[in-house]
Structure 1
């Protein structure tokens, strides 16, 4: 068997871990603890209720419009035991987008949090052939007529459902965030998610003694693949909170006894700025996985606390393509790590020619083991085929490999900015500008230049109590980045628009820019000269 790869099913993995760990706590959520054994028994009941009361059978798609909650976890285990397909939906979806996701996924039923029911009700009523609506987190109240209270499903038969499920059967239909076009449903087999979790375990050394903390949404692949699956496969405790809160983040880490956690994008910058809230005497965190990776200097406040930094390169469609373990050489800080035995990796130019070490191009890959990657985009054969031209899966991300095969992420292809003949990484620009003391978050986008190519606009969110002073920010940029990277335009904004998985929705920022170009603060109009 290839290292990191697991060929079993989610339901079988839970059964095995219940036998191995019994009453050991697996899931902790808002003061409620659930052991491996208890979850195995409860999910049998929910699975039997799905099948016998609601008519859900193998291969049926069931939408989950829920944030982080125990019912989400119970649902994915129960559906997996039936061979049904869970369709996690971003809780921010509504209106036309929600209708599209439900229709495109061919979902037969939906499990929805009580507070989100009204958003889904009118859409569900208009979909032909749509089945049961299950309401989660009712908290003792009543449910609308014609719907099912999730809590009532826990009274069903507790025997293990007798359904044959294969590791290559579909476990999840997970939609991409759709920030630049129609969301694509990623068809994920059981073996993909479990293998992702195991790849992290092998690279990072997780054990049953670890406490893995996540505040990222479980409908997102990072939390589901690299926190939930990792904890399940290695027998660790998983602590879940509802959402990320900058002011509460470190207290939640400390009070949970977390030894490992993950952070995405701008979330890491906010966490760094909140380090002063840590009670260091109680901190047990030994590892923090940050994607994209932090360079050594940026990460120093964390490493000085004894926290080892890890990272990886992965997408919803893939697996852990590269992994940066906790004991990599210091000079490799900032990389996403190296490819492992289960993947072949290349950096390609626009004509799919392989590039030499150090040259930036599109990150492309081929899985070297079966069942570890998506089976395609659901009901989108053309998009599936186009993503795999010349038999490489094209990630849409740009990066480079160094001479030792360490991968360095540069940018999304669509987010790259080309200015005065130079390619600018928005990721690098944002990391630098966020190190300015009074800036909490920043996002860079390309705007049209009268000279052709692009000019740079950066939206900034100021720390509470700090005033937006554009000239001082530009002077800081001039001291800390190449002249061609220094923004021409700046705009202060109260909050960056984001998906619930903390990805900045840059298309919305571009729309704001298009409407406000004449009102934006302009460095050139202000007469500021840059150093060369």
Structure 2
């Protein structure tokens, strides 16, 4: 694997070098089409020219709302070559959340799939700074433009902002993580090296490219390994193994719920009919790793990471199987410390907040966009405070325990309890709400919400779910609901979420469940 110095870790410089050195190697496949490394460099040059003709200059922010397909990568990298900043948006965003993301990011242009226009156009109308919406037809025109290296490419530095990626708000609105060019390349370098990826590998992903998992842990890892990416439009349990086999995949990544769904498929004589040798799964366990190896012949790896940082710890193919329940071992490039509520370091085996500090430049975010207070709060004492809790063992392996924050993780999506509550409280029959995580039979969490009814109101749960589905992304819509006279609070009027969470888990079978009630939520 070729090592690029920090100063060369921009998407423009690395793509140019790949085109010159391994240009004919396959880089990307999608629905039967194929692009080489030279193709990727050329088409992103053309996209850079297209964005320039659309008035985009260095430092401008451009929001991208596209499904999994090559155009998403070409747009991100074309903007990067200009020194502009890409703002990948969750394709399920709508309503107030979409307005907030466009406005808070200071985006001046939006690239969106035609199928999303019914949601996009009303949101854009409320954000005057967005001067144009570009659709797929215009992107197709971009691909026909001259493919020379844009002059701005040489001026872009490794520490320049490349992406604003939104992570869930936990005690407030979602935060925009400002990622320098070098951050994703740091992830790619570490994953390729520690996972043993090489030029003959095919890294399959059906996870959304607007998330760091697919973008950094698959695409950038392949880029550093001179490997090929097999991109799928999205996850389907029915199509999964056929896509893996047809693509010749040797590696794939899976989130907890996805691994469980695949596992629940009926056993088949074809379970080992594939080329996959490793799958990165988050979270991992000894039972899961042993089961996947026994059934599929696949070794399981894992990682602890956040959008704000890098691959903090990695459980690689050479780590001992008895450590499979960990998120991997602390490596030389990163320091990890576990602290108590008073920020005092804890010894091995004691659970506390996970704090990290990079030992090399360029591996973590530049900060939260236009949220200086949140940036300072997360990086106090010269450590980044993750808001997650866990412990280290005596050999430096990190074990995740739970989330100190109020985020809810459902089927690979981090959900802001604050944003769920905000929508619920907009309903005329609701005066207060609290969203909490409860266990899901698929792993990770399901969303449960307590609501306080307005005086004299009688809540219709099915109607309330319909209201939620209209005003929030489908994956945020609560599965469970319960009415409560008043929410438990501290003397400072903060809701005691831990009491609500414990009560919900104890009474889970008694709660109103939209799935049991037959109330469905569309993904559109």
Give the TM-score normalised by structure 1: 0.77
Aligned equivalent of 1:19: 20
CA distance in 2: counterparts of 1:135 and 1:9, whole angstroms:
27
1:521 partnered with 2:521: no
Q: Deviations over 1:482-503 (max 9, x none)?
A: xxxxxxxxxxx9xxx9xx999x
Q: Is this contact kept in 2: 1:220–1:501, CA < 8 A?
A: no
Aligned equivalent of 1:105: 105
Q: Secondary structure at the match of 2:143?
A: helix
Q: Deviations over 1:201-255 (max 9, x none)?
A: 1111100110000000000011111001001111101011111112222222122
Displacement of 1:132 in angstroms is: 2.7
Which of 367, 385, 403 is the aligned partner of 1:394? Answer: 385
1:80 partnered with 2:80: yes
Aligned equivalent of 1:232: 223
Q: Is this contact kept in 1: 2:93–2:473, CA < 8 A?
A: no
Q: How does 1:107-256 map to 2 (within 5 A)?
A: 107-136=107-136, 138=137, 149-163=138-152, 164-178=155-169, 181-256=172-247
Of stretches 165-174 and 16-25 in structure 1, the one that deviates more from structure 2 is: 16-25
CA distance in 1: counterparts of 2:391 and 2:4, whole angstroms:
24
Displacement of 1:446 in angstroms is: 8.5
Q: Is this contact kept in 2: 1:272–1:301, CA < 8 A?
A: no
Q: How does 1:312-331 map to 2 (within 5 A)?
A: 312-331=303-322
Displacement of 1:6 in angstroms is: 4.4
Q: Secondary structure at the match of 1:364?
A: strand
CA distance in 1: counterparts of 2:108 and 2:395, whole angstroms:
49
Aligned equivalent of 2:287: 297
Given the superposition, is the C-alpha separation of residues 310 and 83 from structure 1 closer, same or farther in structure 2, using an over 3 Å criterion?
A: same
CA distance in 1: counterparts of 2:444 and 2:328, whole angstroms:
26
Which 5+ residue runs of structure 1 have no aligned equivalent?
139-148, 418-425, 435-439, 449-492, 524-532
1:339 partnered with 2:339: no
CA distance in 2: counterparts of 1:396 and 1:441, whole angstroms:
21
Q: Deviations over 1:69-93 (max 9, x none)?
A: 1110110111011011000000111
Q: Is this contact kept in 1: 2:289–2:299, CA < 8 A?
A: no
Q: Deviations over 1:66-124 (max 9, x none)?
A: 12111101101110110110000001111111111001000010110111122112222
CA distance in 1: counterparts of 2:355 and 2:478, whole angstroms:
28
Q: Secondary structure at the match of 2:297?
A: coil
CA distance in 1: counterparts of 2:121 and 2:232, whole angstroms:
27
Displacement of 1:372 in angstroms is: 0.8
Of stretches 342-351 and 249-258 in structure 1, the one that deviates more from structure 2 is: 249-258
CA distance in 2: counterparts of 1:501 and 1:128, whole angstroms:
23
Given the superposition, is the C-alpha separation of residues 215 and 415 from structure 1 closer, same or farther in structure 2, using an over 3 Å criterion?
A: same
Q: How does 1:364-443 map to 2 (within 5 A)?
A: 364-414=355-405, 430=439, 434=441, 440=442, 443=445
CA distance in 2: counterparts of 1:447 and 1:23, whole angstroms:
53
Q: Secondary structure at the match of 1:374?
A: coil
Q: Is this contact kept in 2: 1:217–1:501, CA < 8 A?
A: no
Displacement of 1:339 in angstroms is: 1.2
Given the superposition, is the C-alpha separation of residues 223 and 151 from structure 1 closer, same or farther in structure 2, using an over 3 Å criterion?
A: same
Aligned equivalent of 2:39: 38
Q: How does 1:466-485 map to 2 (within 5 A)?
A: none
CA distance in 1: counterparts of 2:20 and 2:264, whole angstroms:
43
Q: Is this contact kept in 2: 1:168–1:189, CA < 8 A?
A: yes
Of stretches 397-406 and 244-253 in structure 1, the one that deviates more from structure 2 is: 244-253
Given the superposition, is the C-alpha separation of residues 62 and 442 from structure 1 closer, same or farther in structure 2, using an over 3 Å criterion?
A: closer
Displacement of 1:131 in angstroms is: 2.3
Q: Is this contact kept in 1: 2:245–2:275, CA < 8 A?
A: yes
Q: Is this contact kept in 1: 2:106–2:129, CA < 8 A?
A: no
Give the TM-score normalised by structure 2: 0.78
CA distance in 2: counterparts of 1:370 and 1:135, whole angstroms:
37
Q: Secondary structure at the match of 2:350?
A: coil
Displacement of 1:445 in angstroms is: 7.3
Of stretches 162-171 and 262-271 in structure 1, the one that deviates more from structure 2 is: 262-271
Q: Is this contact kept in 2: 1:109–1:132, CA < 8 A?
A: yes
CA distance in 2: counterparts of 1:444 and 1:150, whole angstroms:
37
CA distance in 2: counterparts of 1:336 and 1:67, whole angstroms:
29
Given the superposition, is the C-alpha separation of residues 36 and 337 from structure 1 closer, same or farther in structure 2, using an over 3 Å criterion?
A: same
Aligned length: 440
Which of 282, 285, 305 is the aligned partner of 2:276? Answer: 285
CA distance in 1: counterparts of 2:343 and 2:321, whole angstroms:
32
Of stretches 84-93 and 149-158 in structure 1, the one that deviates more from structure 2 is: 149-158
Q: Secondary structure at the match of 2:290?
A: helix
CA distance in 2: counterparts of 1:229 and 1:348, whole angstroms:
32
Q: CA RMSD in A?
A: 2.9
CA distance in 1: counterparts of 2:42 and 2:351, whole angstroms:
51
